[in-house]
């Protein structure tokens, strides 16, 4: 299994709609590690590590988000796997 790391910035109506909690649930369901957080510019940032296929599933999910979110844009950056996380958290 080829492990990778993905950095996502999600734009739109993504704060105040349970985006972080829903992202955490999805990442844990997919067996990924990393974090999700709100940023001051009203975007949501995700850094996740794990098998590439599961990371692709998480990225696809982030294009839709939970109910009540309106995702306008997802910036995606693939990075080398580092292995720095032990679980997936909201920070």
Residues noted as catalytic:
20, 38
The residues facing 91 across adjacent strands are none
> What strands, in cross-sheet order, belong to the sheet with 88-90?
70-79, 3-13, 44-51, 33-38, 88-90
How crowded is residue 31: how many other Cβ atoms within 10 Å of its Cβ? 10
């Amino acid at each position: 299994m080829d492990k990778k790391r993905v950095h996502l910035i999600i734009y739109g109506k993504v704060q105040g709609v349970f985006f972080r909690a829903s992202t955490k649930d999805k990442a844990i369901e997919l067996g990924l590690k990393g974090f999700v957080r709100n940023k001051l510019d009203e975007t949501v940032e995700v850094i996740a590590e794990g098998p590439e296929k599961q990371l692709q599933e998480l990225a696809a999910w982030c294009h839709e988000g939970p109910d009540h979110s309106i995702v306008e844009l997802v910036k995606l950056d693939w990075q080398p796997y580092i292995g720095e996380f032990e679980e997936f958290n909201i920070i």
